[in-house]
Structure formats: C-alpha cells, structure tokens
Amino acid sequence: MSKVNVKIDAITARDEDYARWYTDVCRKAELMDYSSVKGFIIYRPYGYAIWEQIQAYLDRRFKETGHENVYMPLVIPESLFQKEKDHVEGFAPETLTATLGGDEKINDPLIIRPTSEVLFCEHFSKIVKSHRDLPILYNQWCSVVRWEKTTRPFLRGAEFLWQEGHTLHSSEIEARHETLQMLQIYNEMGRDLLAIPFVSGRKTEAEKFAGALETYGIEALMHDGKALQSGTTHYFGTGFAEAFDIAYQDEDNKLTHPHQTSWGVSTRLIGALIMVHGDDNGLVLPPEVAPIQVVIVPIQQTKAGVLAKAREVVSRLEAIGIRSKLDESDRSPGWKFSEWEMKGVPLRLEIGPRDLKNGVVLSAKRNDGVKAQIEDENIEVEVAALLKQIQSEMYEKAANFVEEHTTTIYKYEDLDYALNEKTGYAKMMWCEDQVCIDKIKDEHAATARVMPFDEQPFADTCPVCEQKASKVVLVAKAY
C-alpha cells in the first residue's frame, strides 16, 4: 500500500483562511451558487444530492416509527402567528412579511414561514376531537425563511431546506418519549450516515426553542474548534394546545389538551459535513452519504479494452448497490484525480492497460490517500469492504477530535486556554444561573451548547461564581 497527498491549489488552505476555505469548497465542489438575493442560495445537483441522501435516510427512519409526511402552506396570517406569545417574541425579528398581493394591500399580512408550529396547531384544532385521534405523528419536508443579517451557505441562510416533525400525544410520558426518540434517530444518523459524533443533551433555559418547555440538541464540533447546532427536538407540554384550542375528549369523557412535540434538522448538516471531514483538497464525504461512492478513472482510455473494462466494473458495482461513476471525459487523469478528490468521492479506482494485463485495478481512498491493488475477481467484495472501512475510519477520526478538544474546567481562568487556544468544548459544572453563562459569552464569545446526558458531576462548584453546582454543561464558541 502507498499513501499519496497532493495539495489542490484551487482550494485555500484551512489554516490560511478558514472562512475562505469553506466558501471555496462550497463553490468549487459545485455544491451551491449564490442567487441575486442575499441568503437565498442555489442548491446545485451535487449539493442537493447530498441532501437527498440525508432525506432518504431520515424519511425511512421516520416512517419506521409511524410518522407520516404532510405539507403545510408557505404563508401564515400575522393574526394567527400572534397567538402564542413566546413563539412570536422568539421569531418576530426574523420574519419576512408579504403586505401586497398583486396591486392590493393585504389587510392581514402574510408571514413567510420561519417554522410551522402555528400552522400545524391550527390544523390540529380542527381534526382532533377524541382520544381515538391520538397520537398524531406528522413530518414535513419544506423550506423556511428567516431574515438573517449575516449569512453563510448551508450554515445560516435566509432560506434553508429542512424537515420539521410535529406530534400530538395523550400523555406527557408518551410525548417526552417521542422527543428523546427523535433525538436518538438524529444521533444514529450522525453515526451511521454522516460519520459525525454528535454530542447530545438538554439545552439551557435561555437556549431553548421559543414556546418549548424543554429543548434537546445535537452538537457537532468543526475542525476549527467551533460547535454547530445540528438539530433539535422540543417538548412543548400543552402550551401550544391551550393557545390554539386543541382539545379532545379523553377516555373518561373529560375535555383535555394533548401534549405536543416538534423536532427538526436542516441543510446545515451539509455545512457540518464540510467542516468536520473536509481537508485542504476539498470535500471528504463518508461513503454512506456520498452521492457517488466510487469513481472509476480509466488510464490511457483509448487503449484497447480499457474503457470496456471500466464500464464492466461500473456495472458490477452498481449491481450490488454501490453508487458508481465512470469518468470517461477527455480530461487528463491528473485533472480527474483532483476534481473527484475536491468533490470528496470516498474511493477512486484506476484502470489502465497494465492493470488490464495483470487482472487488477488500483484503489485510492479519499480519506487518507492510501492506495492498494484489488484483484479483478474480488472487486465487489473488496470495494464494499473498503467503503465500510472508510466510513468507520472517518467516524473514529472525528470522535477522537471531539475527545481531544474537550477540556474539563475547574477554575474560571482555565476557560481562556480551553476556548481560545486549544479550542473546542469546555466542560464545566454550572450553578444554573444564566448570569454565569452571560459572563462567559461577554468575555469569551462562547455559549452554553448542551447539558450532556449521562455526565456525572465532577466538582461541587461552578467555576464562574464558585457557588454550588450540580449540572454539567458544555460551553463553546459556535456558528
């Protein structure tokens, strides 16, 4: 085996300018392009194909757990939006509102949905009458608009694609189970599809969703040591149901309000993929989510038998469900190598006249550049094994990065090193007073990410105020 690493000059080095590196990857790997309206990006076929892989995985998992897909309107009357006070306060600064229809003024302005809770609630109030109507397990695939001042492709857009689940339950226990079950599905998506080790837990009161009683999140840690909130699930209790008059007769014929949840992830996951796994040559995609898992590059393709063999290999791989592409363009092999490395294709196979004669193909792994020969008769088995190996190696590398960039804090003065030099998560005890988190935000530009599950207290006091503390919280700079 041999290892080859060649820097692709079209991509700015991460250590030179991380923000420009990110933009270079987004554009030169043909994931997206900018439109004429700030924050509204064009999802190019390769970028959208990644989203389709995420969508297919989650859609299957949602349906396995009894959820059904629906679609709600794009617009919300302002009068309807005003019904849930906390919700309005949380989203009002981000709303885009239509006040003119044709040449007529709209008396009840229409808000372009920033999220769809109120639409679902209005609908639920009409269809839920009896305990026999519950549970309702809905999911929606759509786009939403939030009028962000600062935008960046995939990470923070004025418009982005997402899924939002909305469910109703007859009991608090069932609704809380739903909230944590969907969080677990997101965690498993990270592990099995994206090769991203999410850290999950409950959000602090200040960080929870507007109108929720409890919010849970999955956090990913980027190469630059910043965290990225990658998905959330929410337990609403009966607050929305009371505000929107959602009520039903229970088994004792008493009128009662259902317990409600919502949960969602978005195309922000594509940004996480880029920054968790990417390198100075561009994208590095885990095989499970890669639109193209194997690219075949013929060498001296005009030589007798080379293209025919390359086409045969593609057919054999596709027959066992491996997403494959043959690049038989008239570009040079070197150009093709750089192009597919930039696009992050997990495995490259090279086939030339010498390989044809020897009955082998040459493989090159994108994640570490390691090359090896594969016997022709073993192509299906060995390629499948290599893809599985790459997926595992990428997850392990990302998990090790999270472990290496999580610093346990006992004293407040240690935060500077953890957040600004080592970077990553600062794990500390917390007194649950938001004043302490606000101080960290003011002095270190870091926020509370989650209070992780299954973390045992490791000290008695909060390092900020030195008062008694019983909660473990992860603090980090974030996107």
What are the structural domains, with CATH classification, of the chain? Answer: 12-277 (3.30.930.10), 294-389 (3.40.50.800), 408-476 (3.30.110.30)
Please tell me the distance from the alpha carbon of residue 389 to that of residue 382, in angstroms, as a whole number: 10
User: Is the confidence at residue 52, as pLDDT, over 60?
Assistant: yes
**Contact in structure between 370 and 1 (CB atoms under 8 Å):** yes
Residue 1 clears pLDDT 60, i.e. is over it: no
- DSSP bridge pairs for 165: 139, 263
Q: What is the pLDDT of residue 4?
A: 47
Q: Return all residues near 332 (Cβ < 8 A) that are at least 6 apart.
A: none
87 has pLDDT over 80? no
Q: In which band, very low, low, confident or very high, does the pLDDT at 7 lie, cut at 50, 70 and 90? A: low
Q: pLDDT by residue (tens digit) across 333-355?
A: 999 999 999 999 999 999 999 99
Residue 113 · residue 122 · CB < 8 Å: no
Q: Peptide bond preceding 73: is omega within 30 degrees of 0, i.e. cis?
A: no
pLDDT score of 6 more than 80? no
One-letter amino acid identity for 346?
P
| 8 Å CB contact between 294 and 325 | yes
pTM of the model: 0.95
Average predicted confidence (pLDDT) for the chain: 95
Name residue 1's amino acid. Answer: M
Q: What is the DSSP code string of 108-174?
A: EEEEEPS--HHHHHHHHHHH--BGGG--EEEEEEEEEE---SS-BTTTB-SEEEEEEEEEEESSHHH
Mean of pLDDT values over 35-55: 97
Beta strand pairing call for 136-145 and 68-70: parallel
pLDDT in tens, 271-321: 999 999 999 999 999 999 999 999 999 999 999 999 999 999 999 999 999
Q: What percent of the chain has pLDDT over 70?
A: 97
pLDDT for position 92 = 72
The answer, yes or no, to whether residue 5 has pLDDT greater than 80, is: no
| CA gap 64, 174 in Å, rounded | 17
**Predicted confidence (pLDDT) at residue 364 exceeds the cutoff of 70:** yes
